[in-house]
Amino acid sequence: EAQVTQNPRYLITVTGKKLTVTCSQNMNHEYMSWYRQDPGLGLRQIYYSMNVEVTDKGDVPEGYKVSRKEKRNFPLILESPSPNQTSLYFCASSSGNGYTFGSGTRLTVV
């Protein structure tokens, strides 16, 4: 089944403790991206990648890092999480015409 898989689905962490949210796609898509969803703000793009080793900032990249060492994987790294990064995160992949999204990761930073 073609899908985008992100883990974990739920995560509660403390301020400053580094964490990684993993994302993997099995569709051989060139593009991958991370979004966060917040009430009243919709989906905001954090980072995206056009292919292996090629990444670019979205609209809200501060406090996040990404890497694309393999085509199928695109992890999101929070080096020092803060409470304002509490949000619902979505990973997505695309062949060029619109993204396919994962099921989301609800992150709470206390």
Partner 1 sequence: DQQVKQNSPSLSVQEGRISILNCDYTNSMFDYFLWYKKYPAEGPTFLISISSIKDKNEDGRFTVFLNKSAKHLSLHIVPSQPGDSAVYFCAASAVSGNTGKLIFGQGTTLQVKP
Interaction site with partner 1 (CB under 8 A): 4, 31-33, 35, 40-45, 48-50, 56, 58-59, 90, 92, 94, 96-104
How far apart are the C-alpha atoms of 98 and 85, rounded to whole Å? 25
Shortest Å distance, C-beta 78 to partner 1? 20
Compute the least distance from the CB of residue 54 to partner 1, in Å.
9
Which CB, 5 or 15, lies closer to partner 1?
5
Residue 70, CA distances (Å) to 25, 31, 54 in order: 11, 12, 11
Task: Tell me the closest approach of the beta carbon of residue 86 to partner 1, in angstroms.
Answer: 17
**Cβ-based nearer residue to partner 1, 58 or 63:** 58
The sign of the CA dihedral 61, 65, 70, 73 is: negative
Smaller CB distance to partner 1: residue 78 or 91?
91
The residue ranges of DSSP E strands in 1-110, in sequence order, are: 4-7, 10-13, 19-25, 31-38, 42-51, 54-57, 65-66, 76-78, 87-94, 100-101, 105-109
* Closest CB 49 distance from partner 1, rounded Å: 7
Q: Which CB atom, from 15 or from 95, has the smaller least distance to partner 1?
A: 95
